[in-house]
Structure 1
Amino acid sequence: MHIAEGFLPPLECAVWYAASAPFVIHGARAVIRKAKESPENKLLLAAAGAFTFVLSAIKLPSVTGSSSHPTGTGAGAVLFGPPVMAFLGTIVLLFQALLLAHGGITTLGANVFSMAIAGPWAGYACWKLVKKFGGPMWLGVFLAFFFADLVTYVVTSFQLAIAYPDEVTGLLGAAAKFLGIFAVTQIPLAIAEGVLGILLFGFFARVAPDQMIRLGVMPQTEKAAAHV
Structure 2
Amino acid sequence: MHIAEGFLPPAHAVGWTVAAAPFVLHGARAVVREVRERPESTLLLGAAGAFTFVLSAIKLPSVTGSSSHPTGTGPGAILFRPPVMALLGTVVLLFQALLLAHGGLTTLGANAVAFAVVGPWVGYGAYRLVRGLGAGLLPAVFAGVALADLATYVTTSLQLALAFPDASTGFAGAVAKFLGVFAITQVPLALAEGLLGVLLFRALTANARPELERLGVLRREPAVPAGGAA
The question of a shared fold, defined as TM-score above 0.5 by the shorter chain, is answered with yes
Match for residue 170 of structure 1?
A: 170
Opposite residue 18 of structure 1, the aligned amino acid is V
Confirm or deny that 1:126 pairs with 2:93: no
Q: Deviations over 1:195-219 (max 9, x none)?
A: 0000000000000111101111112
> CA–CA distance in 1 between the matches of 2:40 and 2:194?
25
Structure 2: segments with no counterpart, 5+ residues: 224-230
Q: Which residue is 1:204 aligned to? A: 204
**Structure 1 Cα separation of the partners of residues 163 and 116 of structure 2:** 20
Partner of 1:220, secondary structure, is coil
The change in CA–CA distance for 1:166 and 1:207 in structure 2 (over 3 A counts) is same
Is 1:117 paired with 2:117?
yes
1-structure distance, mates of 2:170, 2:222? 51
Partner of 1:67: 67
Cα distance, 1:65–1:133 mapped onto 2, change above 3 Å: same
Query: Residue deviations 1:48-82, cap 9 Å, x none?
Result: 00000000000000011100000000011000000
Q: CA deviation at 1:130?
A: 1.6
> What RMSD, in angstroms, separates the aligned Cα atoms of the two structures?
1.4
Gaps of 5+ in 1: 224-228
Aligned length: 224
Q: Deviation at 1:221? A: 5.0
Taking the aligned partners of 2:128 and 2:2, their CA distance within structure 1 comes to 28
Q: 1:222 to 1:198 in 2, by over 3 A?
A: farther
CA 202–222 in structure 1, closer or farther in 2 if over 3 Å, else same: farther
| Matching of residues 92-171 of structure 1 within 5 Å | 92-171=92-171
Q: State the partner residue of 1:226.
A: none
Bigger proportion of residues as helix: 1
Who wins on radius of gyration, i.e. which is larger? 2
Q: 1:129 deviation in Å?
A: 0.8
Tell me, in whole angstroms, the C-alpha distance in 2 between the residues paired with 1:93 and 1:83.
Answer: 16
Letter paired with 1:139: P
State the SS of the aligned residue for 1:35. helix
Instruction: Output the amino acid matched with 1:50.
Output: A
Change (3 A) 1:222 1:196: farther
Q: Hey, what's the Cα distance between the residues in 2 that align with 1:59 and 1:164?
A: 24
User: Residue 215 of structure 2 aligns with which residue?
Assistant: 215
Match of 1:21 in 2: 21
Secondary structure of residue in 1 paired with 2:65: coil
Corresponding residue for residue 40 of structure 1: 40
- Which string of whole-angstrom CA distances, capped at 9 and with x for unpartnered residues, describes residues 163-219 of structure 1? 110011100100100000000000000000000000000000000111101111112
Distance 1:66 1:56 in 2: 15
Aligned-pair identity (%):
64
Confirm or deny that 1:90 pairs with 2:90: yes
Task: Flag the 1:53–1:32 CA change in 2: closer, same or farther, 3 A.
Answer: same
Q: Distance in 2 between matches of 1:141 and 1:124?
A: 9
Cα distance in 2 for residues equivalent to 1:219 and 1:135: 14
Distance in 1 (alpha carbons) for counterparts of 2:50 and 2:61: 23
Q: Structure 2 vs 1, CA of residues 88 and 222 (structure 1 numbering), >3 Å: closer, same or farther?
A: farther
The whole-number CA distance in structure 2 between the counterparts of 1:140 and 1:52 is 19
Q: Using the alignment, how far apart are the partners of 1:143 and 1:68 within structure 2?
A: 19
